[in-house]
Amino acid sequence: MKTIKTLAILGFISFALYSFTTVVQNEWKVPAKYEKMKNPTDPKKDLNVGKSLYDKHCKSCHGKAGLGDGPKSNEVDGDLGDFSSKKFQSQSDGALFYKSYIGRDDMPNYEKKIPDEEDVWLIVNYLRTLKK
């Protein structure tokens, strides 16, 4: 009986450590340099360009309204997020720029596909229009 309790406790501890490690690994740390970046574009100017770029590069996974329900969303292992949520919208423009441009895991790097950084800022401006 003592062996079963010990195994149960060890199993619980292992599960707890695995769960904690998974959460920590999935946290997306944005370097301070990007977190503090200011968007150099006018959020009202060229909004149609930002939407067009979003449609071309983002909509297939993230969906028309940024809900993570695009036609390719089933091919992605990670959480595609909800761009309309308070949690998403509370991020700095620099954080959104970093995540959109640099990427990680299933989120591809766009430095070669979108070489003009201003275009990424225009996408960030468009993402701001998706809030609830």
Q: Do 54 and 124 contact (CB within 8 A), yes or no?
A: no
Architecture of domain 30-128: Orthogonal Bundle (1.10)
Beta carbons within 10 angstroms of residue 76's beta carbon: 15
Task: Indicate the pLDDT class of residue 78, thresholds 50, 70 and 90.
Answer: confident
Residues 34-60: pLDDT tens digits?
999 999 999 989 999 999 999 999 999
Confidence of residue 132 (pLDDT cuts 50, 70, 90): confident
**Predicted confidence (pLDDT) per residue in 12-28, tens digit:** 555 544 444 334 447 89
- The chain-wide mean pLDDT, for the chain, equals 87
Vertex 106, ends 94 and 14: CA angle to 5°? 100
Q: CA-based diameter of the chain, in Å?
A: 71
With 0.85 as the threshold, say if the pTM is over it: no
